[in-house]
Structure 1
Amino acid sequence: MSERIRVMQVIARMNVGGPPMQLITLQDGLDQERFEQRIYTGEPGEEEGDYLSLRGQGATVHQVPGLGRSIGPRDDARALSTLVREMRGFRPHIVHTHTAKAGALGRVAATLARVPARVHQYHGHLLHGYFTGPKRAAMIAAERALARVSHRLVAVGEQVRDDLIAAGIGDAGKFVIVPPGTSVPPLPPRAAARAALGLPPDVPVVTFIGRITQIKRPDRFVETARLIRGAVPQARFAICGDGELASVMSREPGMHMLGWRGDMETVHAASDLVMLTSDNEGVPLCLVEAALSGVPCVSTRVGSVPDVVADGQTGLLTACDSRELAAAAILLLTDQALADRMGRAAAISAERLFGTRRFVDDNAALYESLYRRNPLLTESSGRR
């Protein structure tokens, strides 16, 4: 049998969210007779849920001190040194980086360690809603330079790719699109789910899922909730997640703060709809999982959200405006037949577009392509 293709995944931290979920899906799904994988990661922040403890199901990772989200010269230098040393020991054929900081340190380390193939994945981007002025210009300049030392750039959706190319980060020939993929467990009975979460059994429930940070606009969610309650007074709002702006939501009447949870099937079963109020997104896994569970979604029309939610068919999309979001939510909360129809359509569409098998196969094809087309890769086989 030919030598396995060695793939080193590098990510800043395994917090609750889409990128860690994708890495665990690959670790479980790729053919172990063909691929040898390792995940290298830093620590989640204090207010971030730990994906490994909540949903990792015994996944193995390699810890890299200093690789967490925060930026600092000493930690960054320590993480870079560790990554170079680990790459020289593991001798991966391919380094696949995820998230901004790990993407920078991982690609620099892979260049220094002379790794034959370097891939970076954009699960979203930082072009909108994060930086302005000189900081934004510096970030774009850095990403342009890093793109030049990358053999492939992966985007989770067409809009994410197009935004990056428009900013001069990579070109169409270097990008490939690999939408995320996942699966969800069967839903428990609605009444049992409501009881487990401490929610009333007979009221409409609108759910927010994710990090409670500025880019997710918890203030917009609160404004929207107030407008919804004006038309549907009995409505309640389930907040599944945590973050530095959690108090913006927790102070508002009608908010049920659930924190980070590993049983998302319980959350979905208890929800009438899932709402996303963000200013910027890639392909949000919270909407993908909700759709797979047959829960209709209401979201701002940002990033590659339209790849998940077909407006008017599997959910409703709006501008970044609380009044539009509230009107869409009120429509679904007061028209059960429409909500049920959109939920069923969402489940069918999500299974086709975001199923696990398709996702694993797409990544396997990417790795095989890099391995076969780069002579340094095939020459390195057997010289470990």
Structure 2
Amino acid sequence: MGQRRIFHHAVRIPRNPFSRLLDNKKINSYNKAMKILRIIARLNIGGPARNAVLLTEGFPGTALICGEVDKSEGDMMYLAGEKGIKPIIIKELGRELSWKDDWAAFWKIYKIIREVKPDIIHTHTAKAGTLGRFAGILYGKAILIHTFHGHVFSGYFGKVKTIFFIWVEKFLALFTDTIITVSEALKKELVEKYRIAPEKKFSVIELGFELDELLKLPPRENSGTVNVGIVGRLVPVKNHKMMLRVAKRVGDIQGQSPKKGTVPVEIVPVRYMIIGDGEMRGELERYVEELGIKDKVEFKGWVKDLKAIYEELDIVALTSLNEGTPVSLIEAMAGGRPVIATNVGGVKDIVKDGASGYLVELGNVEEFIKKLLELIKDPEKRRKFGENGRNIVKDRFSKERLIKDTEKLYNNTLQENQFLRS
């Protein structure tokens, strides 16, 4: 049989997101429009939400289920609206663990699955992946696909809870037809370190973005001050306190008097911009005051306009304890900005050390300071790294490539499972 084509009717989520497709019952499974149910815990600012929205737009015949976004996280529901997508909101599909709400969310997801009878249930992120796949297992008539955009096995929970989550993922993997990771490094970690499932069950599909505006961004004009930015949620795993300690030390080094017989330290004014919001904002603002660097640090909150974020920055930093795919670094590189980051998770799959930026081992604050100072003092290196980074990401992380790769995976998975309902 030939490959099943994905792109049929354009569905823009009416009252019943599959109302047009449900009438098409007499066509066999390889010629009718494919029905996809996409589930994500919430459309908060970050790579998973962007990915889910772009895939929903890219595959007509898709409905999107999500929960509500916490006020502190930054809401990306506007992006769905811009694409003409109206998600199905399940209020109980919340961020925190709650037996009552999670049970209610599970049954609501299951009822939606029973009503729309999707060919594919594709889940994103841990909470949605758990509830959505359990509901899919109970339904028993759809392909189950889950995307790991990262994992919660390091930097999020205590030991007992982490072990529990690992075992839940191992169990769910037994019933999942394909597990997608957004980087080779993440796949390797899930297969070799956590042993979630055999390697043959995994596929790597890197994220895709709408990068056109960033790819046209010119270098920042020399204002005499170097702006260093860190973009992301203000949560423990992003490790902002390390960045603030670095900012303090860079200021101390530049302000100290040279020892006799040594070359004076060149003083370059530096300003640090914290773009994002989250549960740690108050704590981080107090930490800035404790360090005595309030005059050097600006908390910008969430900024919807990506171009506005990166056109202000000369250097983009990331100090995370754990990362799947570092979205802010991809955006920065598309914008022609050099980057410096801790070498965790999928970061090394994106950043070419010494070519598009610098990678520093987690915990090595002194090396991070040294490399950051190199970028601060060398505008030509910043320009060169920025150009290299842009060349690395411009095609690799395009929206078109994401949709093409996902279409191929969907078709291959369906062909391997021809027992799906007639």
TM-score (norm 1): 0.91
Is 1:261 the equivalent of 2:303? yes
In 2, Cα distance between the equivalents of 1:261 and 1:184?
Answer: 16
The match for 1:156 among 171, 182, 186 is 182
Q: Which moved more, 1:213-222 or 1:131-140?
A: 131-140
Counterpart residue number, 1:281: 323
Q: 1:97-176 residue pairs with structure 2 within 5 A?
A: 97-166=123-192, 167-176=194-203
SS at match of 1:353: coil
Residue correspondence of structure 1 range 82-93 to structure 2 within 5 A: 82-93=108-119
CA distance in 1, matches of 2:124, 2:79: 20
Any residues of structure 2 matched to 1:64-75 within 5 Å, and which? 64-75=90-101
8 Å CA contact 1:209–1:239 kept in 2: the answer is yes
Tell me whether 104-113 or 231-240 shows the greater mean CA deviation. 231-240
Q: Distance in 2 between matches of 1:41 and 1:205?
A: 36
2:58 corresponds to which residue? 29
Residue 270 of structure 2 is matched in structure 1 by 235
Distance 2:199 2:281 in 1: 39
Q: Is 1:363 the equivalent of 2:406?
A: yes
- What CA distance in whole angstroms lies between the structure 2 residues aligned with 1:56 and 1:322? 42
Give 1:49's aligned residue.
Answer: 74
Residue matched to 1:247: 282
How far residue 71 of structure 1 moved from its aligned partner, in angstroms, is 1.0
Shift of 1:189: 7.6
Which of the numbers 58, 64, 89 marks the counterpart of 1:39? 64
* Equivalent residue in structure 2 for 1:208, among 224, 227, 230: 230
The structure number with the bigger radius of gyration is 2
Alignment of 1:317-336 (within 5 A): 317-320=359-362, 321-336=364-379
| 3-state secondary structure, aligned to 1:270 | coil
Q: Flag the 1:44–1:308 CA change in 2: closer, same or farther, 3 A.
A: same
Aligned residue in 2 for 1:10: 39
Tell me if 1:306 matches 2:331. no
Identify unmatched segments of 5+ residues in structure 1.
195-199
Mark the CA change 1:81 to 1:55 in structure 2 (over 3 Å): closer, same or farther. closer
Alignment CA distance shift 1:291-1:302 (3 Å): same
Gap change, CA 1:127 and 1:211, over 3 Å in 2: same
Taking a change above 3 Å as real, the CA distance of residues 13 and 242 of structure 1, as seen in their structure-2 partners, is same
Task: Quote the offset at 1:10 in angstroms.
Answer: 0.6
1:16 and 1:333 map into 2 onto residues whose CA distance is 28
**Whole-angstrom distance in 1 between the partners of 2:94 and 2:358:** 35
Distance 1:369 1:333, change over 3 A: same
Which amino acid letter does the alignment assign opposite residue 284 of structure 2?
A: M
Which residue does 1:180 correspond to in 2?
207
| TM superposition outliers: structure 1 runs of 4+ over 3 Å | 187-191
Q: Which runs of 5+ in 2 are unaligned?
A: 1-7, 9-30, 255-266, 289-293
Q: Deviations over 1:159-213 (max 9, x none)?
A: 111111121201101000001111224359879x99xxxxx95411000101011
Is the CA contact (8 Å cut-off) linking 1:11 and 1:102 kept in structure 2?
yes
Residue 67 (structure 1) shift: 0.7
Residue 322 of structure 1: how far off its partner (Å):
2.4
What is the CA–CA distance in structure 2 between the aligned matches of 1:335 and 1:327, rounded to whole Å?
A: 12
- Residue 55 of structure 1 deviates from its aligned partner by 7.5
Equivalent-residue separation in structure 1 for 2:72 and 2:85 (angstroms): 21
Aligned position for 1:376: 419
Counterpart CA distance in 2 for 1:190 and 1:371 is 44
Mark the CA change 1:55 to 1:259 in structure 2 (over 3 Å): closer, same or farther.
farther
Q: String of CA shifts for 1:266-297, please: whole Å, max 9, x gaps.
A: 11111001100001000111111111111111
Count of residue correspondences: 369
